[in-house]
Structure 1
Amino acid sequence: MNKIYFPLLGLFFIILGISCASDDKNTGENFNFPSFGAERVVSINGLTFDAMEPFISPDGTYLLFNNLNDGTNTRLYYAVRVNDSVFDFAGELNGPNQTNPPHLDAVPDLDADGNFYWTSTRNYPAELNNLFRGSFTNGVVNNIGRVQGDFYKNTSGWLVMDHGISTDGQFLYYNNARFDSSACQGPCETELGIAERVNDFEFRVLSNEASILQNINDSNYIYYAPCISSDGLELYFTRYRKGQITPETQIEICVAVRTDLADVFSEPRVLFSDVVADIIEAPTLTVDKQIMYYHRKIAGTHMIVMRNRN
Structure 2
Amino acid sequence: MNKNIILTFIFLLIISCSKNSNDINQTPIYPSFGSEIDVNIVGLTFDAMEPFISPDGNYLFFNNINDGVNTKLYYATKLNSTTFTFVGELTGTNQIATPHLDAVADLDSNGNFYWTSTRNYPTELDNLFHGTFNSGIVTNIDRVHGDFNMNIAGWLIMDHGISLDGEYLYFNNARFDSQNCQGPCETNIGVAKKVNSTTFNKLPNSESILQNINNVNYIYYAPSISSDNLELYYTRYLKGEITANTVFEICVAVRNNTLDSFSDPKVLFSETISNLIEAPTLTVDKKVIYYHKKTANSHKIVMRNRI
Question: What TM-score do the two structures reach when normalised by structure 1?
Answer: 0.91
Preserved CA contact (<8 Å) 1:27 1:267 = no
Secondary structure in 2 matching 1:149:
coil
Return the alpha-carbon distance in structure 1 between the equivalents of residues 169 and 160 of structure 2: 7
Match of 2:281 in 1: 284
Aligned counterparts, 1:109-128, within 5 A: 109-128=106-125
Query: Is residue 114 of structure 2 the alignment partner of residue 79 of structure 1?
Result: no
AA of the residue aligned to 1:117: Y
Return the alpha-carbon distance in structure 2 between the equivalents of residues 119 and 185 of structure 1: 20
- CA RMSD for the aligned pairs? 1.2
Match of 1:129 in 2: 126
Match of 2:12 in 1: none
Determine which of 212, 216, 219 is the counterpart of 2:216. 219
Residues 304, 29 of structure 1: CA spacing in aligned structure 2 closer, same or farther, 3 A cutoff?
farther
AA of the residue aligned to 1:80: T
Q: State the shift of 1:299 in Å.
A: 2.2
Question: What TM-score do the two structures reach when normalised by structure 2?
Answer: 0.92
Query: Is residue 34 of structure 2 the alignment partner of residue 37 of structure 1?
Result: yes
Return the alpha-carbon distance in structure 2 between the equivalents of residues 106 and 143 of structure 1: 18
Q: Which has the larger radius of gyration?
A: 2
Per-residue deviation, residues 198-224 of structure 1 (Å, max 9, x unmatched): 001000000000100000000000000
Determine which of 299, 305, 308 is the counterpart of 2:305. 308
AA of the residue aligned to 2:280: P
Secondary structure in 1 matching 2:233:
strand
Q: State the shift of 1:182 in Å.
A: 1.8
Per-residue deviation, residues 39-80 of structure 1 (Å, max 9, x unmatched): 000000000000000000000000000000010100000000
AA of the residue aligned to 1:141: V
Return the alpha-carbon distance in structure 1 between the equivalents of residues 25 and 65 of structure 2: 36
Secondary structure in 2 matching 1:238:
strand
RCO higher in structure (CA 8 A, sep ≥6):
1
Determine which of 176, 179, 183 is the counterpart of 1:186. 183
Query: Is residue 265 of structure 2 the alignment partner of residue 265 of structure 1?
Result: no
AA of the residue aligned to 1:132: F
Determine which of 146, 155, 160 is the counterpart of 1:158. 155
Return the alpha-carbon distance in structure 2 between the equivalents of residues 214 and 64 of structure 1: 30
Secondary structure in 2 matching 1:35:
coil
Preserved CA contact (<8 Å) 1:27 1:266 = no
Match of 1:142 in 2: 139
Query: Is residue 253 of structure 2 the alignment partner of residue 256 of structure 1?
Result: yes
Return the alpha-carbon distance in structure 1 between the equivalents of residues 25 and 256 of structure 2: 10
AA of the residue aligned to 1:169: G
AA of the residue aligned to 1:290: K
Secondary structure in 2 matching 1:210:
helix
Q: State the shift of 1:300 in Å.
A: 1.9
Preserved CA contact (<8 Å) 1:222 1:240 = yes
Preserved CA contact (<8 Å) 1:76 1:97 = yes
> Where does structure 1 lack aligned partners over 5 or more consecutive residues?
1-23
Query: Is residue 286 of structure 2 the alignment partner of residue 299 of structure 1?
Result: no
AA of the residue aligned to 1:258: R
Q: State the shift of 1:27 in Å.
A: 8.4
Return the alpha-carbon distance in structure 2 between the equivalents of residues 128 and 254 of structure 1: 29
Return the alpha-carbon distance in structure 2 between the equivalents of residues 50 and 181 of structure 1: 24
Return the alpha-carbon distance in structure 1 between the equivalents of residues 92 and 274 of structure 2: 33
Per-residue deviation, residues 113-165 of structure 1 (Å, max 9, x unmatched): 00000000011111000000000001000000000000011111111000000
Determine which of 214, 233, 250 is the counterpart of 1:236. 233
* Number of aligned residue pairs: 286
Return the alpha-carbon distance in structure 2 between the equivalents of residues 102 and 28 of structure 1: 51
Q: State the shift of 1:28 in Å.
A: 8.5
Match of 1:198 in 2: 195
> Where does structure 2 lack aligned partners over 5 or more consecutive residues?
1-20
Return the alpha-carbon distance in structure 2 between the equivalents of residues 79 and 273 of structure 1: 27
Q: State the shift of 1:29 in Å.
A: 5.9
AA of the residue aligned to 1:105: D
Preserved CA contact (<8 Å) 1:28 1:257 = no
Residues 28, 184 of structure 1: CA spacing in aligned structure 2 closer, same or farther, 3 A cutoff?
farther
